[in-house]
Amino acid sequence: SAVISQKPSRDICQRGTSLTIQCQVDSQVTMMFWYRQQPGQSLTLIATANQGSEATYESGFVIDKFPISRPNLTFSTLTVSNMSPEDSSIYLCSVEVGYGNEQFFGPGTRLTVL
């Protein structure tokens, strides 16, 4: 398994501002993922972040809105840009560890946009 931390754990932001969420893993991993969980909903993959290459975004998500950095094998950031109330969600990072595609998740960042 992996120990994953996220910062901040929660935040309340104003419309039009941006928030950067950090994800730190206790071991080197190739693949990191960012998910969004809207209120009362399930998880949706935003993008896959591999070290040394640009993130790969899923349909409905664009780099201008959700820029991602992956400077090394233990760290990634997701920025939610020009926020609106519709961006209020829990944002979770995950990593794939070991053989067999097990994915482990961080504790999430609960974002509220006013």
Partner 1 sequence: SQQGEEDPQALSIQEGENATMNCSYKTSINNLQWYRQNSGRGLVHLILIRSNEREKHSGRLRVTLDTSKKSSSLLITASRAADTASYFCATDASGGSNYKLTFGKGTLLTVNP
Instruction: Please report, as ranges, the residues that interact with partner 1 according to CB under 8 A.
Output: 1, 4, 6, 31, 33, 37, 41-45, 48, 58, 90, 92, 94, 96, 100-108, 110
- Residue 31 to residues 2, 6, 8, 41, 53, Cα–Cα distance (Å): 13, 16, 21, 24, 11
CB of 17 to partner 1, least distance (A): 22
Whose Cβ is closer to partner 1: residue 81's or residue 105's? Answer: 105
Helix, coil or strand: residue 85: helix
Whose Cβ is closer to partner 1: residue 83's or residue 93's? Answer: 93
**Burial of 30: CB neighbours in 10 Å, binned 0-12, 13-18, 19+:** exposed
CB of 16 to partner 1, least distance (A): 25
CB of 73 to partner 1, least distance (A): 16
Q: Give the tokens for residue 112.
A: 């509220």
